[in-house]
Amino acid sequence: MRKPLSAYDVRIFDDYDVECGRGDGEIVVRGKEPYAQMDSYYNNPEATVKVFRNSWYHTGILAIETRTDFFYFVDRKKDALRRRGENISSFEVEGVINSHPKVLESAVFAIPSELGEDEVKVAVILKKGESLTPEELVSYCNDRMAYFAVPRYVEFREDLPKTPRQG
């Protein structure tokens, strides 16, 4: 939960750049004063066009705005999945999977479905010395999340790729 800085206008927009009011959508930002924020990516006009629309910087962060002007993080927009007409938060699915006592960490992502939209896949790292079958993990998920969010594919791995900042 975070309250925005007063030097910026911060709003929630839907996918069509329409303000959602006190609802949920993508956080967009613009400075109230000249030079309060960047106006482009250095030597990257394609990226600039993607994130700056109608004078608003589109953060790619999905959030919910409350009546008291606080914003609750929901997910990264590009991490959201769409399956069977439902939006799925990879962050929320990972939270459930990571709560399993044998799981060290996981990464949830979309893979193409033969029926259109996405299928949910999870890469799982188990705690040292633990074993778990895909069926056991799916059963655990079935009891704790909506049916459409339960991963269809489970892959157990030794590690997950990380950026230098993730360690």
Taking the domains of the chain in order of start, what are their residue ranges?
8-69, 79-156
pLDDT value of position 145: 95
Q: What would the mean pLDDT of 127-154 be, rounded to a whole number? A: 96
- Quote the tokens at residue 34: 């000249």
H helix count then E strand count, the chain? 3, 10
Average pLDDT of the chain, as a whole number: 85
Lowest mean pLDDT among 2-11, 24-33, 92-101, 130-139: 2-11
**pLDDT, tens only, 10-23:** 889 988 889 987 77
Contact status, residue 86 vs residue 148, Cβ threshold 8 Å? yes
pLDDT at 123: 96
Handedness of CA 42, 45, 51, 52 (dihedral sign): positive
pLDDT tens-digit profile of 119-135?
999 999 999 999 999 99
Kindly report the CATH class assigned to 8-69: mainly beta
CATH 3.40.1050.10 matches 79-156: no
Residues 98-116: tens digit of each pLDDT? 999 999 999 998 888 887 7
Helix or strand holding residue 59 (H, E): strand 56-65
